[in-house]
Amino acid sequence: MGQSSVRGDDTRERVPRERSGGATAAPAGGGTRGGGRRRGHGKPRKRRILRWTALTVSVLILGTGGAGYLYYEHLNDSIKREALNLGGKKMAGHKANAAGQTPLNILLIGSDARDTAANKKLGGGRAHFDGPALADVQMLVHLSADRTNMSVVSMPRDTMVKMPKCTAPDGTEYAASTGRMQTNLSLDRGGPGCTVAAWHELTGITIDHFMMVDFAGVVSMADAIGGVPVCVDANVYSRNSKGEGSGLKLREGTTSIKGEQALQWLRTRYGFEDGTDLGRTRAQHMYMNSMIRELRENAKLTNPNKLRKLAEAATDALTVDDRIDTVTDLLDLADEFKKIPTGRITMTTMPTIPYTYDRNRVEPTPGDAEKLFRLVRDDIPLDGKGVKAKPKPPKSKDPVAPVGEIAVIVQNGTGVGGQPTNGRSTSVTASLVAQGFTLARAGDQLTPQEKTTVTYPSVDLQGDAQAVAKSLGVPMSAVKRSTEVTGVTVVVGADWRTGTAYPKASEDDDKAPKSARLSNGADSTDCMHVQEGFTWS
């Protein structure tokens, strides 16, 4: 086979354990149905518009006849499904808001599998033909409970995380990692369900669905969607002296891309910004935002033939979780996406810092990354709109006892959705003792919960509980009275997995950290900066 025009950016990297221990197409947003105008009228009849937006896929594409039913079944049979969570852990459910609404979280996974002729041609990297697939693209899509806004959080593929226990579809069991591993290895340890489990382990976010697509799937869906405009600030050619790169070649300015060129754009690392995954995820966000605008503004999918082609491409390309039974379920998800205004779509990348043991890898930025996860868990919009100031809890009128006389029990609650972080109760207890709370002791009980809390049983201990919280940097909003405890009790939650001081950035306000590099879905002026050395004339 000759050299493909869409080779991988670089060789696939697999990382051993730490030495010391480590796109779904956004649905069209409405619009009128093309053609079918009644003579003497300037707009389609109202009933036709309602029919277009309300009927199910089987009617939209096929009509109501027997052939339509058979085709509908054909689409259902094309959908590939795998278990949502192969790690054996139960996913926590959502808590409804005051209106009884719940958010929706979908993990998008891009597989780099070179397991078919099409994927080998598109993916390049002969050394990895028929090898294990890696989750090289990971994006969490969060739809707010009231469907007024959407947040998309990307995780770079070379992020080092702890892996949960997972079981592969063939029954192979993988124990939870003792150190850290590169996040894209999760797909090889148990399929997309293991990638879901790894995300849940790190973030504490409930994940409702996943959708996975490979190289060939991206190309077929990009062709079905049609051209999507993207912008570069200089001529770009993604190839280095070793021949590594996606092969993307574009002129300065805006170009409409689709098919293989769209795949090249989504895979480009060499040539964008600093040549790292951070630039690649930003380019992916630009493509997704532009695609959503195109689908909505130009109403490309109001054409029945285009919709049929996209339906076929999607059902053939996607692997989804086993909670999605039929094409109708996919349409229902699409309807949820359509409720979100373009200007309320916010895309971001998890804040990272260089990994301690390998500077070519990254790890979540303490404080900033957890703050981003908290905002998603609490269904707080990343764009800062619609957030109301939290009332400050009243200070206790109860006099505080000398710190050496305050008995405190510290429990480890970091095991939300997976294995707890070892030693958390011990290290936090040591911090309290060092500050004079000599009666503090670590408890043996494991109490998994997402957020750190300080609880007390009666009003006469409220002041003591607030003093403990203040010494640890835990916000006063986390200090609560509870009849389930017999004394001042600290439960170290999943939001505080490292360090002896509570991460300040995770609770100082409800604005996304600046390091998250937000982009807005309505911004049509965004343009990728081309990396020095990857331009042409």
Mean pLDDT in residue range 215-244: 88
Distance CA(418)–CA(90), nearest Å, equals 9
User: 152 and 93: one domain?
Assistant: yes
Q: pLDDT at position 254, please?
A: 97
Of 497, 516, 531, which residue constitutes the final position of a domain?
497
The answer, as to whether pTM is greater than 0.75, is no
pLDDT in tens, 343-384: 999 999 999 999 988 988 999 988 889 889 989 998 999 988
Are residues 489 and 409 in contact, defined by beta-carbon separation less than 8 angstroms?
yes
Confidence of residue 405 (pLDDT cuts 50, 70, 90): very high
pLDDT, tens digit, 9 for 90 and up, residues 443-465? 988 888 878 999 999 999 999 99
Q: Give the model's pLDDT for residue 427.
A: 95
Query: Residue 183: what residue type?
Result: T
Task: Please report where in the chains the tokens 């892996």 appear, as a residue.
Answer: 163
Query: Other C-beta atoms within 10 Å of 479: how many?
Result: 21
- Could you give the 3-state DSSP secondary structure of residue 151? strand
- The b-or-e profile of 104-114 (16+ CB within 10 A means b, else e) is bbbbbbbbbbb
Short-list 493, 450, 458, CA closest to 472: 493
Domain count for the chain, please give it. Answer: 2
Provide the 3-class DSSP secondary structure of residue 92.
Answer: coil
Q: Residues 503-512: what's their mean pLDDT?
A: 67
**AA identity, residue 202:** L
Q: Is residue 318 part of a domain?
A: yes
Specify if 25 maps to a domain: no
| Structural domain contains residue 510 | no
Lowest mean pLDDT among 26-40, 126-140, 406-420: 26-40
365 located within any domain: yes
**Residue 530 vs residues 9, 237, 283: alpha-carbon distances, Å:** 15, 9, 11
Alpha-carbon distances of 345 from 106, 142, 147, 523, rounded to whole Å: 15, 10, 11, 10
What would the pLDDT profile of 167-184 be if each residue is shown by its tens digit? Answer: 887 788 899 888 899 998
- Location of structure tokens 């077929």: 220
| Statement to judge: residues 206 and 342 lie in one domain | yes
8 belongs to a structural domain: no
364 and 229 in one domain?
A: yes
Q: What's 246's domain CATH number?
A: 3.40.630.190
Does residue 325 share a domain with residue 459?
no
Would you give the DSSP letter of residue 275?
A: S
**pLDDT tops 60 at residue 528:** yes
Residues 281 and 411 in one domain: no
CB 245 within 8 A of CB 271: yes
Q: How confident is the model at residue 498 (pLDDT cuts 50, 70, 90)?
A: confident
In a domain, residue 248? The reply is yes
Give the domain range for residue 297: 46-386
Burial environment of residue 400 by CB neighbours within 10 A (0 to 12, 13 to 18, 19 or more): middle
Q: Tell me: do 207 and 351 sit in the same domain.
A: yes
Question: Are 274 and 134 members of one domain?
Answer: yes
pLDDT score, position 134: 82
In a domain, 171, yes or no: yes
What CATH code is carried by the domain that includes residue 425? Answer: 3.30.70.2390
φ/ψ of 127, rounded to 5, equals -65, -15
What average pLDDT does range 271-291 have in this prediction?
A: 92
Whether the predicted pLDDT of 91 surpasses 90: no
Pairing of strands 236-237, 249-250: antiparallel
Q: Which two tokens stand for residue 19?
A: 């030495």
Q: Cβ of 523: how many Cβ atoms within 10 Å?
A: 14
